[in-house]
Amino acid sequence: MFSGPIAAHSFNRIAEEGFADVFFILGPNHTGVGSGVSVYPSDKWRTPLGEIPIDTDLVKKIAGGIIDLDESAHRYEHSIEVQLPFLQYIGKNEGFSIVPICMAMQDVDTAGEVGDQLAEAIKDESRRIMIIASSDLSHEGFMYGRAPPSGIDVDEYVRDRDKLAIREIKNLNPDGLIKTVYKYGLSMCGYGPVASLLYAAKKLGGSKAELLKYGTSYEVSADSNACVGYSAFAIY
C-alpha cells in the first residue's frame, strides 16, 4: 500500500509505450543468503495471477563473471517478486519471460560489471527487452534506528535526502549515485540494481531519465517513527 501507487506510474508507462518480450528484473538482497549477484537459473515463478517462465537463453548469456546461477538468494527475497503482479496485469494478453537478478554486492565495480553483462546480452537481441530495477529510497525514523535531526519532521528529512539520489538518477550517473549513497549514508536499499540499470542503459544508447512520480509512506500513513521514500522513473 506504500510503494505500489508510486511504482504503478512506471508500469503505466510500459503499458502506454508497448510491452516487452523479456524483462530483466534487478533487486537488492535483503537477507544476505546466497551469492553476491545471483540470477535465478530456470523453471517458472508463480504468483496468484499465474506463472511466468524464466528466460533460460538469456540466463545462459549473462551467467558467469560476477553473476552466479543461484536459487537460494531468491528464496526469501521480496524485491523482485513484488514487481510481477504489475507485469501480469498489464501484460495479461502477452506472453513474456523474466530474468531475475538479486544483488547483495552493490559497489561501483559490481554494478558496472552487471550493467555491462546486461548490455552485451541485450544488444544483439531482436526481441523487445526491458530492465526493471527495484528499490526503495530513504528509510528514516526510530523504526529504522535513524532519527532525523531535532526539529525536522521525518517526512521532510526523507524528502531532502531522496533529492540527492534522484538528482544522480536524473543525470544518468550511476557512479555518482553510489558515491552519493556512501557519502551521505543514504538508506536506499537497491542503489546497486538502479546503478546497474543506468550503466546498461547508457551502453545501449539511453540518454534520458524521466521522474514520473515521487512520494513517501507518510502520505499513506503519517507515522513520526518511520518514513520511506519511493520514486518511479522511466529510462530511455
The pTM of the full predicted model, rounded to 2 decimals, is 0.96
| 4-23 pLDDT tens trace | 999 999 999 999 999 999 99
Q: How many domains are contained in the chain? A: 1
Give residue 181's identity as a one-letter amino acid code: V
| Mean pLDDT of all residues belonging to the chain | 96
188 within 8 A of 137, measured Cβ to Cβ: yes
CATH at 181? 3.40.830.10
Does residue 72 have a pLDDT over 90?
yes
Report, as an integer, the average pLDDT of 168-191: 98
pLDDT of residue 223: 87
> What are the CA-CA distances from residue 108 to residues 142, 181, 196 (Å)?
29, 11, 9
What domain range is 203 assigned to?
4-235
pLDDT band at 93 (very low <50, low <70, confident <90, very high): confident
| 191-233 pLDDT tens trace | 999 999 999 999 999 999 999 999 999 999 998 889 999 999 9
